Amino acid sequence: MGLVAIATGKFLSSFSVFLFLTVLLMVVARRISTSVLLFSLQSAIITAEVFAMGVREKLAAAYVVGALVLLIKVIAIPYAFFRLVDRLKSPRDVKASTTPTQSVFIAGAMIYLSYAAVHSFGQTVHVPEDALAAAVALILTGSFLMVSRKKALMQMLGLLVLENGIFLAALITTFGMPLVIEIGIFFDILVGLLLMGIFTFRIRDTFDHLDVSKLRRLRG
């Protein structure tokens, strides 16, 4: 019994390393499909963490949440993305506005910043510092992806990464939120994605491209 608890605790903190890895890979990825795959992987790691949390805290609801994450973020959303990429028939490139080297440096700085920000917080509240840092890093990198990638699809993906970070932070600091709230959040993402998907099609149909940096008519 004690062994399981120790194992899950270790798991929760050490799997952050893999999250950092996905983040770093994601900022250098050149293709949309690679990014989607990495996102799916990232979500899978988070699913594992949810299950680990369920084992450690003995929460039945956590398994339901974990199943939902698996279903929606690991399978459904990436699948929808691949279909979207196929249907849109636009070039596969993410159209980064920073070179891969710059991106890695910025992502590294983000990771450093998240450790720095979390450091003092982690000592007062008993949460695994690495996991919390990973959550903040996900939030920051998600925003960075939204800012630096010109493809509308990448903005959606950035938002999802950001959301992953928020989800992870919530999971770690509260040891699992009530099921109702979790379901509400999932519903939120789904509706948001649906809307963004529709808008992506509209952008493509209206402007024949997906480059958001060229959409600058909305100003007073």
Shortest distance, position 140 Cβ to other proteins, whole Å: 7
**Which residues make Cβ contacts (< 8 Å) with residue 167, sequence separation at least 6?**
46, 69, 185
Q: Is 144 in the site for other proteins (CB under 8 A)?
A: yes
**Which residues make Cβ contacts (< 8 Å) with residue 183, sequence separation at least 6?**
68
The correct pick among 4, 6, 125, 147 for binding other proteins (CB under 8 A) is 147
Residue holding tokens 């509260």?
174
Nearest to 62 by CA among 44, 83, 47: 47
Phi, psi dihedral angles at 93 (to 5 degrees): -70, 145
Q: Enumerate the H helices of 15-128 as residue ranges.
A: 16-28, 32-57, 60-69, 77-88, 100-124
Shortest distance, position 216 Cβ to other proteins, whole Å: 4
First-to-last alpha carbon distance for the chain, in angstroms, is: 64
Q: Is 143 in the site for other proteins (CB under 8 A)?
A: yes
Distance CA(35)–CA(160), nearest Å, equals 11
The correct pick among 28, 75, 85, 113 for binding other proteins (CB under 8 A) is 113
* Secondary structure of residue 31 in the 3-state scheme: strand
Shortest distance, position 212 Cβ to other proteins, whole Å: 5
Sole window of 59-67, 83-91, 138-146, 182-190 interacting with other proteins (rule: CB under 8 A): 138-146
The correct pick among 58, 60, 86, 220 for binding other proteins (CB under 8 A) is 220
Instruction: Pick between residue 39 and residue 144 the one whose CB is nearest to other proteins.
Output: 144
Shortest distance, position 190 Cβ to other proteins, whole Å: 22
The correct pick among 25, 59, 64, 146 for binding other proteins (CB under 8 A) is 146
* Secondary structure of residue 39 in the 3-state scheme: helix
Asked if 87 contacts 97 with a C-beta cutoff of 8 angstroms, the reply is: no
The interface with other proteins within residues 189-218 (CB under 8 A) comprises 212-213, 215-218
Q: How many helices (H) and strands (E) does the chain have?
A: 9, 0
Q: Is 58 in the site for other proteins (CB under 8 A)?
A: no
Contacts with other proteins: how many residues (CB under 8 A)?
25
Q: Which residues of this protein are in contact with other proteins, per CB under 8 A? A: 97, 113-114, 116-117, 119-120, 136, 139-140, 143-144, 146-148, 150, 155, 212-213, 215-220
